[in-house]
Amino acid sequence: MELLTINNVWMMICTALVFFMHLGFAFLEIGLTRQKNTLNILFKNIFIITTGLLLYALVGFNLMYPGFAEGSSGIFGFAGFGLSSPLTAEGALDLTYNEGYTYWTDFLFQGMFAATAATIVSGAVAERMKILPFMIFAVIYVGIVYPIAGSWKWGGGFLDQLSTPFYDFAGSTLVHSVGGWAAVVAVCLLGARIGKFKKGEIQAIPGHNIPLATAGVLILWLGWFGFNGGSVLSADPGLTSLTLVTTCLSAAAGGVVAAIVSTIMYKNLDLTMFLNGILGGLVGITAGADQMSPTDAILIGAIAGAIIVFAVSLIDKLKLDDPVGAIAVHLICGIWGTLAVGLFGNLAGVDQFISQLIGVASYAVFCLATSFIIIYTLKKTIGIRVSEKEELEGLDVHEHGMDAYPDFRLNEH
């Protein structure tokens, strides 16, 4: 009982840290975009976390952990609507549910992860997507698509049943790439912001509050202590400590290398690239944080930091407008981190690398297909992009009827 209590308290602390990450996402997104769209971004972030938790309680948790029957395909299962804690014969809370935590803690910790996938998309489509279609997309993606995808590994589905099981410790693919693939589809179907590409030239559209963006990244880094540390699923001192060390070293290496590479390429000390390098390192280590040595973690983070710089440049060249770098950070570094499990650490080997490739490909096909169906349908029915007038004057005024900074409104066009 004492061990269960210790483990459960640690899991609840980690749940709080992952919840805190949503403030980090909000700060990062509003900091890297223009002030006339601040309320719009904050509204979306609040909508995602509130609706996401309700949907996860209603259907998501039991879609993600359906208890696949022996011999099933491991692709789709559903354990029923709502939450129902296992009880003892006497009707008391069954504390034998798991040696690391209770049923309720399990739900809440996993529920915090669920909303993150849609939050990633929120940043990528910032400043030009109508809020209603985004809300509809978020409901379907968080409520149905993410839990089904998650069940393939974390719910004991077919990727967990491979001869060499696919491995994703805390979600480089299951969380970050699931959001990243949808972001790619959304950005392609939406098109770029007005003024982003003029006569074939890439035009920078600076964010309005880089200090807020910096605070957001530091909050996210702190939150990752819960994201990865909680994924140990217990308070095991050795494994938890190692996981936090590898997480931090990868983040640090990602930031430093991104800063160095971007300075060499662009001849300026770009703080936003430094910040995204940190996030790239965090996403990269997430798939194998419990399997890596400190040296492995530094290498994974360093490579992720370099990837960020080249990925941001490639995305611009492809005429994809991603205001916060979500695709580079969450998708491309998510793929890298997932494949790195087969190259570094305790699981390195050809068979593991092949399983990691199978996992990446499976999620790519599923997420690209489902997000395209959802967003394309919305585009053809109610439309997904605001008018030119609304975009130029700001989504805050037109979609929310107010300003985030009413005393300091600028004429931003």
Measure the N-to-C terminal CA separation of the chain; round to a whole number of Å: 61
Of 243, 184, 213, 202, residue with least CA distance to 30? 213
pLDDT of res. 76: 95
pLDDT digits (tens, 9 = 90+) for 34-48: 999 999 999 999 999
CB atoms within 10 A of CB 82: 10
Residue 411, pLDDT score: 52
Dump pLDDT digits (tens) for 167-218: 999 999 999 999 999 999 999 999 999 999 987 789 989 999 999 999 999 9
SS3 141: helix
Predicted pLDDT at 71: 78
pLDDT at 359: 98
pLDDT for 96 equals: 59
- Nearest Cα to 174, choosing from 101, 260, 258, 113? 113
Domain regions of the chain by residue span: 2-69+92-408
Q: How high is the pLDDT of residue 143?
A: 95
DSSP string covering 357-381: HHHHHHHHHHHHHHHHHHHHHHHHH
Fold of 2-69+92-408: Ammonium transporter fold (1.10.3430)
pLDDT at 279: 98
Which residue positions in the chain have pLDDT lower than 70?
A: 1, 86-97, 408-413
